[in-house]
Amino acid sequence: MKSANTLGVRADADDEWADRILFAEHGQVGRSVALAKEILRDAVTRKRDELSLQHAERVFRKSKPGLDMTPFHSAEWDVVKSELTAIGWGQ
């Protein structure tokens, strides 16, 4: 994520941040941008030098509690997406 680098926060490209965020917000660009900003804001506020899926999941769960699994589950993105799709995410 280019914005993260600008703020001095590393984001591992292997974590597929853009895909996870877009999927989390059901493809809605405006909501996806707001979620990305909230994840970055949290990292900067807490003085983290790297984004992590665990912290992103915590931020996401603040607005959507009660989910068993989220797009920020710490497994490979293809596996997470398949599992979420199988349980009806976004329907």
Instruction: Write the pLDDT tens digit of every residue in 27-85.
Output: 999 999 999 999 999 999 999 999 999 999 999 999 998 888 999 999 999 999 999 99
Q: Which domains does the chain have, with CATH numbers?
A: 2-86 (1.10.8)
The whole-model pTM stands at 0.90
Residues 6+ apart with CB under 8 A from 89: 23, 71
